[in-house]
Amino acid sequence: MSTFGDIVDTVTRDGLIPKVTDNVLLGNVLAMRMLTNRKDAAAWGEVTGKFVQFPIKYQASTQGGWYSGFDTLATNQMNTRVNALLYPRQLYWSVGASGIQIAINKGPEGILNFLATELRSVADDMLDIFGTGLYSDGTGTSSKQLTGLDAAVDDGNGTATYAALARATYTTWVSNIDSSSNAITRAELAASYDAAQIGSDQPTLGVTTPAIWTTIEGLAMGTISFNNPIMGMSKEYGTMTRAGVQKGQTGELGFTSLFFRGRPIVSDEKCTSGRFYWLNENHIGLAMWPYPTEIFPGYVTKPEYNGFCWTGLKVPTNQDAAVGQLLLYTQLVTDACRTHSYMTNKT
């Protein structure tokens, strides 16, 4: 455990770490939404060993139907479900100070200033890695990377097996794709949205790149009309009033937010180039695994900062230094791939 005392330990934990995890979310819209709406892994299904396991319905039962009088009724049991499973992924970032750095930055204030600088740098690096992971297929870093949208929202040609289920076998375990290459259109937005809608279960969020977002903005801008009233001739004096004209007329172009059928469309710098996703957040989100506070008392000083935990500053037995880690135990989970859709090759 840290030997810096409560002043450094508590300020780092309660003051600096929350600011760092907030900064991780800046500019990463999907990460912010996912971490804000995170759930314990147990909320998605049964946590068994190293993975979370949850059932999906992959076919309708045929053991029923219309009948008349003394018709024989089907009584066989038919299995319509199969278990999907996903393993947690772990992300960490270390923040350390060597003995000589601690000696130079004397006193609690000096150490805190040094740690604040290091933690701000860590926030930038974590943003890059975590944001990339949210859009990945999970094969990066020897398959230790988050299994992101590239695998979860797929038609089966990119990721043939997701959550241990082969999409060729379980045909409802796929997402609709529009792979036509062109500037995105309103008709394509509607068609992709419709493809992910099942009854009243509809997409809740559109996610795309800044470039495609701007194209969509242009589609909306085509409907703009301006109303710039200028005062007419005065009935009393027979003169043209110039109120508002002398100051110049002002017009405003561009939007800061876009909605389609009441659903927000957000721009995310980490979104894969050429992609647009319709996501149903009732069926996709981050599953979180608990941190080992009970198994290793004192190992984690406080478990939750936007889903991250801070281990506290520790003094290794074989180094002249103090080191702490920000940890994240998570996985992106969807229990209904067909409730999402995506487009590729768009501009």
Residue for token digits 């009970």?
A: 294
In 3D, which of 145, 143, 142, 168 has the Cα closest to residue 157? Answer: 168
In 3D, which of 97, 140, 90 has the Cα closest to residue 326? Answer: 90
Structure confidence at residue 225 (pLDDT) = 60
Hey, is 205 helix, strand or coil?
Answer: strand
Domain ranges of the chain: 6-57+81-181+277-343
Low-confidence ranges of the chain (pLDDT < 50): 1-2, 232-238, 240, 242, 244-245
| Whole-number Cα distances in Å, 263 to 87, 270, 325 | 31, 20, 37
Model pLDDT for residues 264-312, shown as the tens digit of each residue:
999 999 999 999 999 999 999 999 888 776 555 555 555 567 778 887 7
Residues 6+ positions from 70 with CB-CB distance below 8 Å: none
Q: Are 266 and 30 in contact (CB under 8 A)?
A: yes
In 3D, which of 145, 132, 133, 136 has the Cα closest to residue 90? Answer: 145
Structure confidence at residue 9 (pLDDT) = 63
| pTM tops 0.85 | no
Q: Are 244 and 297 in contact (CB under 8 A)?
A: no
Structure confidence at residue 5 (pLDDT) = 56
d(Cα 247, Cα 231) in Å, to the nearest integer? 13
Q: Is 277 exposed, middle or buried (0-12, 13-18, 19+ CB in 10 A)?
A: buried
In 3D, which of 118, 138, 119, 132 has the Cα closest to residue 27? Answer: 132
Hey, is 228 helix, strand or coil?
Answer: coil
